[in-house]
Amino acid sequence: LVQRAFEPYRGWWDVPGGFLAEGEHPEQGAVRELREETDLTVRLTGLVGIFMDEYGPSGDATLNVFYTGEVDGGDEAAGSDATGMRWFAPHELPDNVAFRCNREALAAWKAAHEHLTGM
């Protein structure tokens, strides 16, 4: 997770992500955003799910796609829109996670992890 440098939810933990460029496939956008926010390159390995939410004071509706992936390069560093980053085990997830869609996606990821590992 990355720690947000700006509002909304400044200082809260966030799943790296962002908005798609025109014509950009969600998978490409996920890889690009993760690189911008963490300086890591990833290979996507699966789909966690698709979640609805709202963004910012205008309450614009968002459709959020969450993937699993494996790091395959880069040097771990928080991007310009983050004050830090940290890896969390499923049982260590913080309470202050920004956005409902992130909380729902992390709960789904945690449940899938527990189902696979029995932990």
Q: pTM of the entire structure?
A: 0.92
Q: Residue 119: which pLDDT band, with cuts at 50, 70 and 90? A: low
**Confidence check: pLDDT of 13 > 80:** yes
- For 63-106, the pLDDT digits (tens) are 999 999 999 999 999 998 999 999 999 999 999 999 999 999 99
What pLDDT, on the 0 to 100 scale, is given for residue 113? 84
Question: Are residues 14 and 37 in contact, defined by beta-carbon separation less than 8 angstroms?
Answer: no
Closest CA to 2 of 119, 108, 112, 99: 99
What pLDDT, on the 0 to 100 scale, is given for residue 37? 95
What pLDDT, on the 0 to 100 scale, is given for residue 82? 94
d(C-alpha 48, C-alpha 89), whole Å: 16
**Confidence check: pLDDT of 115 > 80:** no
Question: Are residues 87 and 46 in contact, defined by beta-carbon separation less than 8 angstroms?
Answer: no
- For 26-70, the pLDDT digits (tens) are 999 999 999 999 999 999 999 999 999 998 788 899 999 999 999
